[in-house]
Amino acid sequence: MDRSLSLRQSGADGVDAVNFLKKLFGADGGAETQSVILLRQVPIRYDEPARSWLGGLPRLPEDVAWPRSQAGAPLQFVAQVCCADLPKGMWGGIGPRDGWLLLFVDCYSLHDILRNGRVQVLHVLKLGPEREPPEDMGTYRNAMLDHIDYSSPVVRPGIPKMWRRWPVDVIVQDVPEPFEYDGEMILAPNPVDPAALYGAPAADPERGLSLTEAEGARPLTWRGVLYLLDQIAHGLGRQASSQSYKVKSLEVADTTLPDRFPAGWVALALDQRKVELARYAKPLPEWESRAEALRNQGDTPVEALRKLEYSIKERKRDLKGQAETIALLEAYGAADADAAFSLDVVRAEHSYFAWIQAMQQLVAEVRAEVQRKDLDQVLTEADWMPIRDRLTASTSVTWYLQDERHLALRIRHGLLPEASNPMDMALREDALDLYTRDAAARAALPQTLLDELEPQARRIGFRNIPHRMGGPRDMVQDSEVQDDWMLLFQIFSDDPMGWRWADVGGLFVFLPVDDLKAGRFDAVEAWVEGG
């Protein structure tokens, strides 16, 4: 059963707005009138100590143990918030207004409901030193799309066990009046405008954070190289698994041809490829003309020109691949074209499988060498070029086929292909690590990269859904919530933080109102809702 929470309250007909608020959020006879947004600082104010922050390391008193689940697993640290900054009208006036609230979650056990100590909120009255995570905590980095392993934590040497530390400002919001919809009373937060909150432009909230459309992108530090290598290794592992199955299914020796392609298939595939080539080429002259017109404008719209130039570049790359495939298909001749093509397809699959295995060994060797470096040191071009040359020295080819459409395309595989490669993740994570580390590290970022990064960092979650405390939550899924539960934390998916909660959803942490009154936080529950 879906137990994720929403603030749709059924059966509220005939209850006026004030009484409804008191019923839903009442505490000591008072309604909850305020909530807060946890707004990441952009730019980060390094000249003042952070009062509240997301990610990084917790500051726990020395006598407070690192939280663990009932199964003994160490929890991942998510947030630490200064209670003195929480407004009087939040939670109906109850709950702590001194000390700090800390949120820990077992990210390896993210389900609809997190119980049995898999989510914990601590209230501490004083700050301790920064606490390093336990040795048995696995590496968990959502944004690497590797996730290491959801079920069995693994420590990745050189990869931080925690998310990057990002100071936040506590922004107070008024709780809006409930409204009636389809016979039910609905309570939802006021919408947010990131540009208004930051006083500066914010990138499109639907666009992923990407920094690699410029030519020559590379990691910025040695740790960034590890990010890149781990992402490559993850991709190779998936390919090795699928390719092993494919190769085993092709029961063929060099002297035996599979009965795969009927007579005339190659000729039909060649005709189809020529049609595809013409279709792909048709819009290119118009695109190039538009790009030239934009360049000649006095007030060139930079974003529009950048997107158009990227599309032109990608389309030319596709056309080159199409033309190469046509040349290969034409080279098969006539009578034995289908048999010869069948053999080449099988040989390519076997060769590609062997190439994958060789590349896995190469990546492991390079990783071992990089791990001996000072991982936080900025990478120079002279450092990077030998690594790039080793990663690009070898390629392999396979055929992409759709039998029913007579579709054939020759695909060239490399560790660092020109498009859709792991460099995107590596550069993004590396740049964000530097940006959030300290003022000196941020100053090491190229200004052009910084100018692109900060508007994207000002994005608020997905669909402008922020991190919150108190008040109603931003509903992702439509289900019920008990009247006597208070929202402690809403932590939403956030690209700059590297967070993915149930795809692009959120993590919602609640506590019964009586427990909040008493200052007891051992009864918290968390719900994860997918977007």
Chain-centre distance of CA 33, in angstroms?
Answer: 33
CA separation for the pair 235, 241 (Å, rounded): 10
Q: What is the pLDDT of residue 214?
A: 56
* Distances in whole angstroms, Cα of residue 430 to Cα of each of 301, 417, 443: 28, 20, 14
| Averages of pLDDT over each 10 residues, the chain, 531 residues | 32 40 48 94 96 97 94 93 97 96 88 77 97 89 53 74 95 88 79 93 77 76 93 86 68 49 84 91 94 84 81 90 89 81 85 93 96 95 96 91 79 77 86 95 90 91 89 76 83 89 85 94 87 61
Terminal C-alpha separation, the chain: 17
CATH of domain 8-209+459-529: 2.30.320
CB 134 within 8 A of CB 24: no
Helix orientation angle between 302-330 and 284-296, rounded to the nearest 10 degrees: 150
Q: What is the pLDDT of residue 518?
A: 94
Q: Is 246 in a helix, a strand, or coil?
A: helix
Helix or strand holding residue 234 (H, E): helix 222-249
Tokens 């407004």 locate to: 87
Q: What is the pLDDT of residue 245?
A: 64
SS (H, E, C) 270-305: HHHHHHHHHHHHCCHHHHHHHHHHHHHCCCCCHHHH
CA separation for the pair 425, 143 (Å, rounded): 7
Q: What is the pLDDT of residue 244?
A: 72
Q: What is the pLDDT of residue 103?
A: 98
Question: What are the residue ranges spanned by the domains of the chain?
Answer: 8-209+459-529, 222-431
Q: What is the pLDDT of residue 251?
A: 52
Where do the DSSP E strands lie in 142-231?
166-174, 179-181, 184-186
CA separation for the pair 97, 202 (Å, rounded): 32
Closest of 435, 494, 430 to residue 227, by C-alpha? 430
Record the tokens describing residue 376, joined without a space: 């936080």
Record the tokens describing residue 148, joined without a space: 């290491």
Closest of 168, 164, 133 to residue 56, by C-alpha? 164
According to DSSP, the residues that pair with 410 across neighbouring strands are 399
* Distances in whole angstroms, Cα of residue 155 to Cα of each of 229, 401, 524: 15, 39, 28
CA separation for the pair 511, 526 (Å, rounded): 9
